[in-house]
Structure 1
Amino acid sequence: MPETPRYAHPEAIVTTEWLAANLAAPGLRVFDCTTYLIYETGTGRPYRVESGRADYDKGHIPGSGFLDLQGELSDTSSRFNVTMPAPEDLAARFAAKGIGQDSRVVLYSRKNPQWATRVWWMLRAIGFDDAAVLDGGFDKWSVEGRPLEAAETRYPPAQLEARPRPGLFVGKETMQAAIGDAGACSINALSPELHRGEIPRYGRPGRIPGSVNVPAAALLDPASLTFRPPEAVAQAFQVVGADPSRRILLYCGGGIAATLDAFLLHQLGYRDLAVYDASMSEWAKDESLPIEQG
């Protein structure tokens, strides 16, 4: 009988019960990572990125700081909304927010955990492994009636050395080279409609040729926004041919939803994982790159 799938790194997913019991733990650093995408038409861009800071100021998990993904943790010289900075630069930015070598970090967001998984994947890319995502995020915490506070938390600056893991973020060249490669599996984390090319949100509608679709939203319980059980998540990837022996390349609209897929694949024990940072925000507008519909 095959072994029942399980999450290989349970320490990287924490419950609201655990967090409530450990809020005062020394070295714990909790951050609200909320960002919103405001979809627009007629502007020439797929969406406007809006910080969740205003909601944080209204009420957040006690003792948690705020991370502005676009404003504080992204390469602002990039033409894309959210782009991974150089590892040493990013480590310095995290350190300024209070994340140090000995910190235990818990990340959460509102409405969608993909913002927390994006920051988690960025921390992993610079070699920091003691981070976790709050299962169900702020929404579950709030629904359970747990305490909130409005006062801002600022942690003292810390020291954090970058120990980069090359290859966790990749560019269009890697994605193009994987087309037709039996040893690679490219996965689109966007909705089925976007995958099929029914909505021209990012430019040319469609997908990277040969890629398969595992929508990030399908990996969550829609009511609680918690991660689905390991066996359900494993099945979602297995049915599209995402075998652990293959290199798995994940993309979406801008390298956000793809990190949710990547986070859960890591939890399932997959080792060769990469996220296409610019994703369809770049691919769909580059006429030299192939695109597939249907």
Structure 2
Amino acid sequence: MNDIPLIVTTDWLAEHLSDADLRIVDATVFMKFPKTGGAPTVESGKASYSKGHIPGAVYADLLGELTDSEAALPFTAPPRNAFIEKMTDLGIGDGMRTVIYDQNALVGEELAASQWASRLAWQLRYEGFGQVAILEGGLQKWQKEGRDLSTEQPSHPKAEFTGQRRTSMLATKEDVRQAIEDEQTILINSLSPDDFHSGHIPSSENVFFGSHASEDTKALATDEQLRAAFEQSGALAPDKKVITYCGGGIAATWTALLLNKLGQPNVAVYDGSMNEWISDPSCPVATNK
């Protein structure tokens, strides 16, 4: 079995749709931004998946099944056993390659970022699944190119899984506290410049997650363009550790994926992100850079 890259193109997926060792996953969650401002709302993408998805794809419910329902914060990584049980039920495990996509589902915001796909990919790698990729441009790019959709909902034999959790991929609130004063650790805030300036973790650098792909074609920026976006932050330095964060640990996984793609392996995601940080009065917040 050949290793799968971190990001695959629609051409690659079309050529490999019938591979017996390939699993395709729709991880769509809809996040809707009110026109009048305020907090976004989220809803499952299962109904949309049922109306049409990439042939062979199964649906993974990040909102209802792949988050810790007992956690105080939304989208907290679920218990390991529960996550593995769900993934292996979908046929994902040892000896399988997995491609994840979403619908770039930020309703009310014209962004091109597969952050829901990257969230599930991050969770899989965190728990030790190795052969995981996301689809460049997601379902929107697939459809723009006139490729077929299906309404069939496949099932696969239950897989086995023997991988180990990669604890270095997750950063805690205490890790972030220490990083503020640590010159060897770069904190990357993945939110928009406006959100960043309204409040961020001290010493953070801002690299907006929604600026790395074409709003029109959904194609990802070139590696040269991506390097230019991250260069000033210092996050690509080989001797640095990077912690990415956002509002709730979703967009931060997209940033982490791109850093991995550019050759920076030492990246952790602060799962609690600003949701957790601002809920603790002892955590400092900066409002200017």
Quote the offset at 1:148 in angstroms.
Answer: 0.7
1:60-95 CA distances to partner (integer Å, 9 max, x unpaired)? 111110011121211111121101123333222211
1:244 matched to 2:245? The reply is no
What does 1:207-246 correspond to in 2, within 5 Å? 207-242=200-235, 243-246=237-240
Query: 2:242 corresponds to which letter in structure 1?
Result: I
Name the counterpart of 1:72: 65
Query: 2:234 corresponds to which letter in structure 1?
Result: G
Alignment partner of 1:261 out of 239, 255, 275:
255
1:12-42 CA distances to partner (integer Å, 9 max, x unpaired)? 2211111112111112100111111234699
Name the counterpart of 1:109: 102
Name the counterpart of 1:92: 85
* SS of equivalent to 1:182: coil
Name the counterpart of 2:120: 119
**Quick one: distance in 2 between partners of 1:269 and 1:89?**
31
Name the counterpart of 2:53: 60
1:133 matched to 2:127? The reply is no
Quote the offset at 1:226 in angstroms.
Answer: 2.4
* SS of equivalent to 1:54: helix
Greater CA drift, 171-180 or 238-247? 238-247
Greater CA drift, 254-263 or 164-173? 164-173
Name the counterpart of 2:107: none
What is the root-mean-square deviation of aligned Cα atoms in Å? 1.9
Report percent identity of matched pairs.
Answer: 39
**Quick one: distance in 1 between partners of 2:263 and 2:227?**
10
1:293 matched to 2:280? The reply is no
Name the counterpart of 2:155: 154
CA 1:10–1:268: 2 relative to 1, 3 Å = farther
**Structure 1 residue ranges without an equivalent (≥5):** 1-8, 198-205
Name the counterpart of 1:19: 13
Contact preservation (8 Å) 1:113, 1:225: no
**Quick one: distance in 1 between partners of 2:79 and 2:61?**
17
**Quick one: distance in 2 between partners of 1:153 and 1:79?**
34
* SS of equivalent to 2:155: coil
Query: 2:243 corresponds to which letter in structure 1?
Result: L
Quote the offset at 1:55 in angstroms.
Answer: 1.0
TM-score with structure 1 setting the length? 0.89
**Quick one: distance in 1 between partners of 2:35 and 2:181?**
34
* SS of equivalent to 2:168: coil
**Quick one: distance in 2 between partners of 1:182 and 1:154?**
49
* SS of equivalent to 1:92: helix
Contact preservation (8 Å) 1:183, 1:246: yes
What does 1:35-46 correspond to in 2, within 5 Å? 35-39=29-33, 46=39
Contact preservation (8 Å) 2:6, 2:257: no
* SS of equivalent to 1:68: coil
**Structure 2 residue ranges without an equivalent (≥5):** 105-112
Query: 1:170 corresponds to which letter in structure 2?
Result: A
What does 1:185-204 correspond to in 2, within 5 Å? 185-197=186-198
Contact preservation (8 Å) 2:4, 2:97: no
* SS of equivalent to 1:11: coil
Query: 1:239 corresponds to which letter in structure 2?
Result: Q
Alignment partner of 2:269 out of 255, 264, 275:
275
**Quick one: distance in 1 between partners of 2:258 and 2:40?**
26
Contact preservation (8 Å) 1:253, 1:279: yes
Quote the offset at 1:154 in angstroms.
Answer: 2.4
Greater CA drift, 247-256 or 280-289? 280-289
**Quick one: distance in 2 between partners of 1:66 and 1:210?**
38
* SS of equivalent to 1:132: strand
Superposition misfits of 4+ residues, deviation over 6 angstroms: none
Quote the offset at 1:53 in angstroms.
Answer: 0.9
CA 1:291–1:41: 2 relative to 1, 3 Å = farther
1:228-247 CA distances to partner (integer Å, 9 max, x unpaired)? 11111111111122223111
